[in-house]
Structure 1
Amino acid sequence: MIKIENLTKTFRTTEVETLALNKVSLEVRDKEFVAIMGPSGCGKSTLLNIMGLLDNPTSGSYFLDGKEVGSLKEKDRTNVRKGNIGFVFQSFNLIDELNVFENIELPLTYLKIPADERKRRVNEIMQRMNISHRAKHYPQQLSGGQQQRVAIARAVVSGPKIILADEPTGNLDSKNGQEVMELLTELNKEGTTIVMVTHSQRDAGFASRVINLFDGQIVASIAEM
Protein backbone atom coordinates (compact mmCIF):
# COMPACT_ATOMS: atom_id res chain seq x y z
CA MET A 1 0.00 0.00 0.00
CA ILE A 2 2.51 2.64 1.24
CA LYS A 3 6.27 2.29 0.94
CA ILE A 4 8.73 5.02 1.85
CA GLU A 5 12.48 4.68 1.26
CA ASN A 6 15.19 7.00 2.65
CA LEU A 7 12.81 9.93 2.66
CA THR A 8 14.31 13.29 3.63
CA LYS A 9 12.57 16.64 3.94
CA THR A 10 14.44 19.90 4.42
CA PHE A 11 12.82 23.30 4.86
CA ARG A 12 14.96 26.25 3.78
CA THR A 13 14.71 29.98 4.31
CA THR A 14 17.26 32.62 3.42
CA GLU A 15 18.84 32.22 6.86
CA VAL A 16 17.93 28.77 8.20
CA GLU A 17 17.87 25.19 6.95
CA THR A 18 15.77 22.74 9.01
CA LEU A 19 15.97 18.98 8.57
CA ALA A 20 12.43 17.79 9.31
CA LEU A 21 12.80 14.17 8.15
CA ASN A 22 16.09 12.29 7.95
CA LYS A 23 16.20 9.18 5.73
CA VAL A 24 12.90 7.75 6.93
CA SER A 25 11.94 4.31 5.61
CA LEU A 26 8.69 2.51 6.41
CA GLU A 27 5.90 0.42 4.97
CA VAL A 28 2.18 0.51 5.75
CA ARG A 29 0.32 -2.60 4.72
CA ASP A 30 -3.11 -2.65 3.12
CA LYS A 31 -5.88 -2.40 5.79
CA GLU A 32 -3.38 -1.60 8.56
CA PHE A 33 -4.03 1.01 11.28
CA VAL A 34 -0.78 2.80 12.12
CA ALA A 35 -0.26 5.50 14.75
CA ILE A 36 2.73 7.83 14.52
CA MET A 37 3.87 9.33 17.83
CA GLY A 38 6.63 11.63 19.00
CA PRO A 39 7.30 15.03 20.57
CA SER A 40 6.26 18.28 18.90
CA GLY A 41 8.57 19.17 16.03
CA CYS A 42 9.78 15.62 15.44
CA GLY A 43 8.40 15.50 11.87
CA LYS A 44 5.09 13.65 12.37
CA SER A 45 2.85 16.07 10.47
CA THR A 46 5.50 16.61 7.79
CA LEU A 47 5.57 12.86 7.17
CA LEU A 48 1.76 12.73 7.05
CA ASN A 49 1.63 15.63 4.59
CA ILE A 50 4.04 13.83 2.26
CA MET A 51 1.99 10.62 2.56
CA GLY A 52 -1.07 12.67 1.64
CA LEU A 53 0.68 14.26 -1.35
CA LEU A 54 0.27 17.71 0.13
CA ASP A 55 4.05 18.13 -0.09
CA ASN A 56 7.03 16.53 -1.86
CA PRO A 57 10.10 15.08 -0.15
CA THR A 58 13.47 16.74 -0.69
CA SER A 59 14.93 13.31 -1.53
CA GLY A 60 13.99 9.66 -1.24
CA SER A 61 11.07 7.71 -2.68
CA TYR A 62 7.38 7.37 -1.87
CA PHE A 63 5.44 4.52 -3.45
CA LEU A 64 1.65 4.29 -3.32
CA ASP A 65 0.21 0.99 -4.59
CA GLY A 66 3.56 0.31 -6.26
CA LYS A 67 3.74 3.65 -8.09
CA GLU A 68 6.38 6.26 -7.23
CA VAL A 69 4.39 9.40 -6.38
CA GLY A 70 6.79 11.42 -4.23
CA SER A 71 8.22 13.36 -7.16
CA LEU A 72 4.92 14.16 -8.89
CA LYS A 73 4.02 17.72 -9.84
CA GLU A 74 1.13 19.40 -8.04
CA LYS A 75 -1.50 18.66 -10.71
CA ASP A 76 -0.58 14.98 -10.78
CA ARG A 77 -0.50 14.80 -6.96
CA THR A 78 -4.02 16.24 -6.88
CA ASN A 79 -5.27 13.64 -9.33
CA VAL A 80 -3.80 10.79 -7.24
CA ARG A 81 -5.29 12.22 -4.01
CA LYS A 82 -8.81 12.36 -5.42
CA GLY A 83 -10.75 9.29 -4.45
CA ASN A 84 -7.68 7.58 -2.97
CA ILE A 85 -6.85 9.57 0.18
CA GLY A 86 -9.16 11.08 2.79
CA PHE A 87 -7.97 13.61 5.38
CA VAL A 88 -9.10 14.19 8.97
CA PHE A 89 -7.50 17.06 10.86
CA GLN A 90 -7.51 18.35 14.43
CA SER A 91 -8.95 21.69 13.31
CA PHE A 92 -11.76 19.97 11.32
CA ASN A 93 -11.09 22.19 8.25
CA LEU A 94 -14.78 22.56 7.44
CA ILE A 95 -15.97 25.36 5.16
CA ASP A 96 -18.02 27.82 7.22
CA GLU A 97 -20.14 28.94 4.25
CA LEU A 98 -21.33 25.38 3.51
CA ASN A 99 -23.79 23.40 5.59
CA VAL A 100 -23.14 19.85 6.78
CA PHE A 101 -24.56 18.20 3.67
CA GLU A 102 -22.58 20.51 1.37
CA ASN A 103 -19.31 20.02 3.28
CA ILE A 104 -19.62 16.24 3.02
CA GLU A 105 -20.68 16.42 -0.63
CA LEU A 106 -17.65 18.46 -1.69
CA PRO A 107 -15.23 15.60 -2.56
CA LEU A 108 -17.93 13.97 -4.69
CA THR A 109 -18.45 17.24 -6.55
CA TYR A 110 -14.72 17.40 -7.31
CA LEU A 111 -14.94 13.84 -8.63
CA LYS A 112 -17.88 14.89 -10.86
CA ILE A 113 -20.19 12.27 -9.37
CA PRO A 114 -23.80 12.71 -10.64
CA ALA A 115 -26.12 14.64 -8.31
CA ASP A 116 -28.42 11.71 -7.47
CA GLU A 117 -25.47 9.52 -6.53
CA ARG A 118 -23.94 12.34 -4.46
CA LYS A 119 -27.17 12.71 -2.54
CA ARG A 120 -27.41 8.96 -1.89
CA ARG A 121 -23.83 8.69 -0.64
CA VAL A 122 -24.03 11.78 1.58
CA ASN A 123 -27.31 10.69 3.16
CA GLU A 124 -25.91 7.23 3.78
CA ILE A 125 -22.75 8.45 5.49
CA MET A 126 -24.62 11.09 7.52
CA GLN A 127 -26.91 8.39 8.87
CA ARG A 128 -23.93 6.23 9.79
CA MET A 129 -22.21 9.13 11.57
CA ASN A 130 -25.45 10.06 13.37
CA ILE A 131 -25.51 13.59 11.97
CA SER A 132 -28.50 13.38 9.56
CA HIS A 133 -30.46 15.71 11.85
CA ARG A 134 -27.72 18.33 11.35
CA ALA A 135 -27.69 18.23 7.53
CA LYS A 136 -28.74 21.87 7.11
CA HIS A 137 -26.70 23.25 9.98
CA TYR A 138 -23.44 25.15 9.49
CA PRO A 139 -20.14 24.29 11.21
CA GLN A 140 -20.44 27.12 13.75
CA GLN A 141 -23.76 25.64 14.90
CA LEU A 142 -22.18 22.27 15.76
CA SER A 143 -20.32 20.94 18.78
CA GLY A 144 -16.69 19.92 18.38
CA GLY A 145 -17.63 16.25 18.30
CA GLN A 146 -20.24 16.87 15.61
CA GLN A 147 -17.77 18.88 13.53
CA GLN A 148 -15.26 16.03 13.66
CA ARG A 149 -17.97 13.56 12.63
CA VAL A 150 -18.69 15.78 9.62
CA ALA A 151 -14.96 15.89 8.83
CA ILE A 152 -14.74 12.09 8.99
CA ALA A 153 -17.86 11.75 6.83
CA ARG A 154 -16.31 14.08 4.25
CA ALA A 155 -13.06 12.09 4.34
CA VAL A 156 -14.72 8.73 3.68
CA VAL A 157 -17.71 9.60 1.46
CA SER A 158 -15.72 9.00 -1.73
CA GLY A 159 -14.56 5.57 -0.52
CA PRO A 160 -10.80 6.30 -0.27
CA LYS A 161 -8.28 3.51 0.22
CA ILE A 162 -6.42 5.50 2.88
CA ILE A 163 -7.45 7.87 5.67
CA LEU A 164 -4.76 10.17 7.05
CA ALA A 165 -5.67 11.65 10.44
CA ASP A 166 -3.63 14.40 12.10
CA GLU A 167 -4.49 14.63 15.84
CA PRO A 168 -8.17 13.82 15.13
CA THR A 169 -9.19 14.07 18.80
CA GLY A 170 -6.95 17.01 19.72
CA ASN A 171 -9.84 19.51 20.00
CA LEU A 172 -12.32 17.12 21.59
CA ASP A 173 -13.25 16.14 25.14
CA SER A 174 -12.67 12.59 26.31
CA LYS A 175 -16.14 11.27 25.42
CA ASN A 176 -16.18 12.71 21.90
CA GLY A 177 -12.59 11.66 21.36
CA GLN A 178 -13.45 8.09 22.31
CA GLU A 179 -16.37 8.07 19.85
CA VAL A 180 -14.20 9.41 17.03
CA MET A 181 -11.57 6.74 17.63
CA GLU A 182 -14.25 4.05 17.65
CA LEU A 183 -15.49 5.33 14.28
CA LEU A 184 -11.99 5.19 12.82
CA THR A 185 -11.55 1.68 14.18
CA GLU A 186 -14.81 0.57 12.54
CA LEU A 187 -13.66 1.98 9.19
CA ASN A 188 -10.35 0.16 9.54
CA LYS A 189 -12.09 -3.13 10.29
CA GLU A 190 -14.10 -2.64 7.10
CA GLY A 191 -10.89 -2.43 5.07
CA THR A 192 -9.73 1.19 5.11
CA THR A 193 -6.01 1.76 5.72
CA ILE A 194 -5.49 4.43 8.41
CA VAL A 195 -2.37 6.38 9.34
CA MET A 196 -2.83 8.66 12.35
CA VAL A 197 -0.55 11.21 13.98
CA THR A 198 -1.25 11.58 17.69
CA HIS A 199 0.21 12.70 21.02
CA SER A 200 -2.30 10.54 22.87
CA GLN A 201 -1.22 7.16 24.19
CA ARG A 202 -4.91 6.32 24.58
CA ASP A 203 -5.62 7.01 20.90
CA ALA A 204 -2.50 5.12 19.83
CA GLY A 205 -3.91 2.10 21.64
CA PHE A 206 -6.55 1.76 18.92
CA ALA A 207 -3.87 1.21 16.27
CA SER A 208 -2.41 -2.14 15.25
CA ARG A 209 1.10 -0.65 15.15
CA VAL A 210 2.77 2.40 16.72
CA ILE A 211 5.72 4.15 15.07
CA ASN A 212 7.80 6.46 17.28
CA LEU A 213 9.51 9.41 15.61
CA PHE A 214 12.26 11.52 17.15
CA ASP A 215 14.26 14.30 15.46
CA GLY A 216 12.96 13.27 12.04
CA GLN A 217 13.90 9.61 12.39
CA ILE A 218 12.00 6.44 13.25
CA VAL A 219 13.30 5.14 16.57
CA ALA A 220 10.76 2.32 17.15
CA SER A 221 7.96 0.42 15.41
CA ILE A 222 5.83 -1.57 17.83
CA ALA A 223 2.91 -3.87 17.04
CA GLU A 224 0.06 -3.50 19.54
CA MET A 225 -1.07 -6.70 21.28
Structure 2
Amino acid sequence: MIKTINLQKIFKTEEVETWALNNVSIEVKQGEFVAIMGPSGCGKSTLLNILGLLDNPTGGEYYLNGMEVSKYTESQRTNLRKGVIGFVFQSFNLIDELNVYENIELPLLYMGISASERKKRVETAMERMAITHRSKHFPQQLSGGQQQRVAIARAVVANPKLILADEPTGNLDSKNGKEVMGLLSELNREGTTIVMVTHSQHDAGYADRVINLFDGQVVTEVSM
Protein backbone atom coordinates (compact mmCIF):
# COMPACT_ATOMS: atom_id res chain seq x y z
CA MET A 1 0.00 0.00 0.00
CA ILE A 2 2.86 2.35 0.89
CA LYS A 3 6.34 2.36 -0.58
CA THR A 4 9.03 4.99 -0.35
CA ILE A 5 12.37 4.94 -2.18
CA ASN A 6 15.23 7.15 -0.95
CA LEU A 7 12.79 9.69 0.48
CA GLN A 8 14.40 13.00 1.41
CA LYS A 9 13.15 16.08 3.22
CA ILE A 10 15.45 19.07 3.54
CA PHE A 11 14.53 22.22 5.43
CA LYS A 12 16.58 25.25 4.36
CA THR A 13 17.18 28.64 5.84
CA GLU A 14 19.60 31.25 4.53
CA GLU A 15 22.49 29.71 6.45
CA VAL A 16 21.46 26.19 7.46
CA GLU A 17 20.36 23.07 5.57
CA THR A 18 18.74 20.42 7.75
CA TRP A 19 18.09 16.89 6.50
CA ALA A 20 14.93 15.77 8.31
CA LEU A 21 14.76 12.62 6.17
CA ASN A 22 17.83 11.12 4.53
CA ASN A 23 17.11 8.45 1.89
CA VAL A 24 14.29 6.71 3.78
CA SER A 25 13.02 3.56 2.05
CA ILE A 26 10.15 1.70 3.68
CA GLU A 27 7.25 -0.48 2.60
CA VAL A 28 3.91 -1.03 4.36
CA LYS A 29 1.58 -3.71 3.08
CA GLN A 30 -2.20 -3.49 3.04
CA GLY A 31 -3.53 -4.55 6.45
CA GLU A 32 -0.25 -4.07 8.34
CA PHE A 33 0.12 -2.23 11.63
CA VAL A 34 3.50 -0.46 11.62
CA ALA A 35 4.96 1.63 14.42
CA ILE A 36 7.63 4.27 13.74
CA MET A 37 9.91 4.99 16.69
CA GLY A 38 12.99 7.03 17.47
CA PRO A 39 14.19 9.99 19.58
CA SER A 40 12.65 13.44 19.29
CA GLY A 41 13.78 15.21 16.12
CA CYS A 42 14.64 12.01 14.24
CA GLY A 43 12.09 12.66 11.46
CA LYS A 44 9.13 10.55 12.61
CA SER A 45 6.44 13.21 12.26
CA THR A 46 8.00 14.58 9.07
CA LEU A 47 7.74 11.12 7.54
CA LEU A 48 4.14 10.75 8.71
CA ASN A 49 3.21 14.13 7.20
CA ILE A 50 4.59 13.03 3.83
CA LEU A 51 2.85 9.65 4.03
CA GLY A 52 -0.37 11.51 4.82
CA LEU A 53 0.03 13.85 1.83
CA LEU A 54 0.24 16.87 4.10
CA ASP A 55 3.64 17.67 2.59
CA ASN A 56 5.85 16.67 -0.35
CA PRO A 57 9.37 15.29 -0.01
CA THR A 58 12.37 17.19 -1.33
CA GLY A 59 13.53 14.11 -3.23
CA GLY A 60 12.90 10.42 -3.67
CA GLU A 61 9.74 8.54 -4.58
CA TYR A 62 6.51 7.86 -2.70
CA TYR A 63 4.01 5.29 -3.96
CA LEU A 64 0.52 5.14 -2.44
CA ASN A 65 -1.69 2.34 -3.75
CA GLY A 66 0.71 2.02 -6.67
CA MET A 67 0.60 5.71 -7.64
CA GLU A 68 3.75 7.84 -7.48
CA VAL A 69 2.57 10.90 -5.55
CA SER A 70 5.76 12.66 -4.43
CA LYS A 71 5.32 15.57 -6.86
CA TYR A 72 1.59 16.08 -6.39
CA THR A 73 0.29 19.64 -6.05
CA GLU A 74 -1.52 20.66 -2.88
CA SER A 75 -4.93 20.30 -4.55
CA GLN A 76 -4.01 16.84 -5.88
CA ARG A 77 -2.88 15.76 -2.41
CA THR A 78 -6.08 17.08 -0.86
CA ASN A 79 -8.28 15.22 -3.33
CA LEU A 80 -6.38 11.97 -2.84
CA ARG A 81 -6.56 12.18 0.97
CA LYS A 82 -10.37 12.28 0.94
CA GLY A 83 -11.78 8.90 1.79
CA VAL A 84 -8.35 7.24 1.60
CA ILE A 85 -6.51 8.45 4.73
CA GLY A 86 -7.74 9.02 8.27
CA PHE A 87 -5.66 10.96 10.80
CA VAL A 88 -5.40 10.64 14.59
CA PHE A 89 -3.23 13.18 16.42
CA GLN A 90 -1.86 13.49 19.96
CA SER A 91 -3.61 16.85 20.38
CA PHE A 92 -6.96 15.48 19.11
CA ASN A 93 -7.36 18.43 16.66
CA LEU A 94 -11.09 18.78 17.30
CA ILE A 95 -12.89 22.01 16.42
CA ASP A 96 -14.08 23.68 19.63
CA GLU A 97 -17.06 25.36 17.95
CA LEU A 98 -18.48 22.03 16.70
CA ASN A 99 -20.11 19.39 18.87
CA VAL A 100 -19.16 15.71 18.78
CA TYR A 101 -21.57 14.85 15.97
CA GLU A 102 -20.44 17.80 13.85
CA ASN A 103 -16.73 17.07 14.37
CA ILE A 104 -17.19 13.50 13.20
CA GLU A 105 -19.37 14.54 10.27
CA LEU A 106 -16.84 17.06 8.92
CA PRO A 107 -14.87 14.73 6.56
CA LEU A 108 -18.12 13.56 4.98
CA LEU A 109 -19.17 17.14 4.27
CA TYR A 110 -15.87 17.72 2.45
CA MET A 111 -16.54 14.57 0.41
CA GLY A 112 -20.01 15.70 -0.62
CA ILE A 113 -21.78 12.73 1.00
CA SER A 114 -25.59 13.00 1.17
CA ALA A 115 -27.25 14.03 4.46
CA SER A 116 -28.91 10.65 5.00
CA GLU A 117 -25.66 8.75 4.39
CA ARG A 118 -23.75 11.16 6.66
CA LYS A 119 -26.23 10.56 9.47
CA LYS A 120 -25.93 6.79 9.14
CA ARG A 121 -22.13 6.83 9.08
CA VAL A 122 -21.75 9.26 11.98
CA GLU A 123 -24.18 7.32 14.17
CA THR A 124 -22.34 4.07 13.37
CA ALA A 125 -18.97 5.63 14.21
CA MET A 126 -20.26 7.12 17.48
CA GLU A 127 -21.80 3.81 18.53
CA ARG A 128 -18.60 1.96 17.78
CA MET A 129 -16.54 4.39 19.85
CA ALA A 130 -19.12 4.38 22.68
CA ILE A 131 -19.70 8.14 22.52
CA THR A 132 -23.29 8.31 21.23
CA HIS A 133 -24.41 9.76 24.57
CA ARG A 134 -21.96 12.64 24.03
CA SER A 135 -23.13 13.57 20.52
CA LYS A 136 -24.26 17.09 21.48
CA HIS A 137 -21.35 17.86 23.76
CA PHE A 138 -18.47 20.11 22.74
CA PRO A 139 -14.78 19.12 23.01
CA GLN A 140 -14.18 21.20 26.14
CA GLN A 141 -16.94 19.21 27.87
CA LEU A 142 -15.16 15.89 27.26
CA SER A 143 -12.32 14.06 28.98
CA GLY A 144 -9.10 13.44 27.08
CA GLY A 145 -10.05 9.84 26.43
CA GLN A 146 -13.44 10.87 25.08
CA GLN A 147 -11.86 13.49 22.83
CA GLN A 148 -9.52 10.89 21.35
CA ARG A 149 -12.49 8.58 20.76
CA VAL A 150 -14.14 11.41 18.83
CA ALA A 151 -10.93 11.90 16.85
CA ILE A 152 -10.80 8.20 15.97
CA ALA A 153 -14.49 8.24 15.00
CA ARG A 154 -13.77 11.20 12.72
CA ALA A 155 -10.80 9.30 11.23
CA VAL A 156 -12.83 6.18 10.42
CA VAL A 157 -16.18 7.70 9.40
CA ALA A 158 -15.12 7.88 5.73
CA ASN A 159 -14.01 4.21 5.79
CA PRO A 160 -10.36 4.95 4.91
CA LYS A 161 -7.98 2.17 3.94
CA LEU A 162 -5.14 3.86 5.86
CA ILE A 163 -5.01 5.49 9.30
CA LEU A 164 -2.00 7.57 10.30
CA ALA A 165 -1.66 8.11 14.05
CA ASP A 166 0.83 10.55 15.58
CA GLU A 167 1.37 9.77 19.29
CA PRO A 168 -2.32 8.83 19.72
CA THR A 169 -1.97 8.14 23.45
CA GLY A 170 0.48 10.95 24.23
CA ASN A 171 -2.06 13.08 26.11
CA LEU A 172 -3.88 10.21 27.80
CA ASP A 173 -3.54 8.37 31.09
CA SER A 174 -2.70 4.66 31.09
CA LYS A 175 -6.31 3.42 31.18
CA ASN A 176 -7.51 5.62 28.32
CA GLY A 177 -4.32 4.92 26.39
CA LYS A 178 -4.93 1.18 26.52
CA GLU A 179 -8.54 1.67 25.40
CA VAL A 180 -7.47 3.80 22.42
CA MET A 181 -4.81 1.30 21.39
CA GLY A 182 -7.40 -1.45 21.68
CA LEU A 183 -9.68 0.45 19.30
CA LEU A 184 -6.87 0.95 16.78
CA SER A 185 -5.90 -2.70 17.04
CA GLU A 186 -9.49 -3.74 16.40
CA LEU A 187 -9.65 -1.56 13.29
CA ASN A 188 -6.41 -3.15 12.08
CA ARG A 189 -7.76 -6.67 12.58
CA GLU A 190 -10.66 -5.69 10.32
CA GLY A 191 -8.22 -4.80 7.54
CA THR A 192 -7.36 -1.13 8.05
CA THR A 193 -3.68 -0.34 7.51
CA ILE A 194 -2.23 1.67 10.40
CA VAL A 195 1.04 3.59 10.58
CA MET A 196 1.69 5.03 14.03
CA VAL A 197 4.40 7.32 15.38
CA THR A 198 5.03 6.63 19.05
CA HIS A 199 7.57 6.92 21.85
CA SER A 200 5.80 4.20 23.82
CA GLN A 201 7.20 0.67 23.81
CA HIS A 202 3.83 -0.48 25.15
CA ASP A 203 1.96 1.04 22.22
CA ALA A 204 4.50 -0.31 19.75
CA GLY A 205 3.70 -3.78 21.07
CA TYR A 206 0.38 -3.62 19.20
CA ALA A 207 2.19 -3.31 15.87
CA ASP A 208 3.25 -6.06 13.48
CA ARG A 209 6.54 -4.30 12.84
CA VAL A 210 8.58 -1.43 14.28
CA ILE A 211 10.67 0.90 12.11
CA ASN A 212 13.31 2.77 14.08
CA LEU A 213 14.60 6.13 12.83
CA PHE A 214 17.68 8.05 13.90
CA ASP A 215 18.85 11.34 12.38
CA GLY A 216 16.39 10.98 9.52
CA GLN A 217 17.45 7.48 8.55
CA VAL A 218 16.02 3.99 9.04
CA VAL A 219 18.39 2.17 11.38
CA THR A 220 16.43 -1.02 12.17
CA GLU A 221 13.17 -2.78 11.34
CA VAL A 222 11.88 -5.31 13.89
CA SER A 223 8.96 -7.70 13.51
CA MET A 224 6.93 -8.01 16.70
CA deviation after TM superposition for structure 1 residue 154, in Å = 0.2
CA deviation after TM superposition for structure 1 residue 131, in Å = 0.2
| Cα distance in structure 2, aligned partners of 1:104 and 1:12 | 37
| Cα distance in structure 2, aligned partners of 1:44 and 1:26 | 13
Query: What is aligned with 2:162?
Result: 162
Aligned partner letter, 2:147: Q
| Cα distance in structure 2, aligned partners of 1:15 and 1:149 | 43
| Residues 163-202 of structure 1 deviation map (CA, whole Å, 9 limit, x = unaligned) | 0000000000000000000000000000000000000000
Aligned partner letter, 1:49: N
| Cα distance in structure 1, aligned partners of 2:157 and 2:21 | 32
Aligned partner letter, 1:187: L
Residue 50 of structure 2 aligns to a residue in which SS? helix
Query: What is aligned with 2:57?
Result: 57
Query: What is aligned with 1:132?
Result: 132
| Cα distance in structure 1, aligned partners of 2:193 and 2:66 | 15
Query: What is aligned with 1:200?
Result: 200
Query: What is aligned with 2:183?
Result: 183
Q: TM-score by structure 1 length?
A: 0.99
Query: What is aligned with 1:28?
Result: 28
Query: What is aligned with 1:101?
Result: 101
Residue 25 of structure 2 aligns to a residue in which SS? strand
| Residues 138-174 of structure 1 deviation map (CA, whole Å, 9 limit, x = unaligned) | 0000000000000000000000010000000000000
> What are the within-5 Å matches in structure 2 for residues 11-26 of structure 1?
11-26=11-26
| Residues 58-107 of structure 1 deviation map (CA, whole Å, 9 limit, x = unaligned) | 00000001100111000000000000000000000000000000000000
| Cα distance in structure 1, aligned partners of 2:17 and 2:91 | 28
Displacement over 6 Å in runs of 4+: none
Q: Size of the alignment, in residue pairs?
A: 224
| Cα distance in structure 2, aligned partners of 1:17 and 1:95 | 35
CA deviation after TM superposition for structure 1 residue 14, in Å = 1.9
| Cα distance in structure 2, aligned partners of 1:134 and 1:20 | 40
> What are the within-5 Å matches in structure 2 for residues 111-130 of structure 1?
111-130=111-130
Aligned partner letter, 1:186: E
Aligned partner letter, 2:155: A
- 5+ residue gaps, structure 1, are none
Aligned partner letter, 2:48: L
Query: What is aligned with 2:4?
Result: 4
Residue 72 of structure 1 aligns to a residue in which SS? coil
| Cα distance in structure 1, aligned partners of 2:70 and 2:84 | 15
Query: What is aligned with 1:215?
Result: 215
CA deviation after TM superposition for structure 1 residue 15, in Å = 2.5
CA deviation after TM superposition for structure 1 residue 17, in Å = 1.3
Query: What is aligned with 1:85?
Result: 85
Aligned partner letter, 1:198: T
- 5+ residue gaps, structure 2, are none
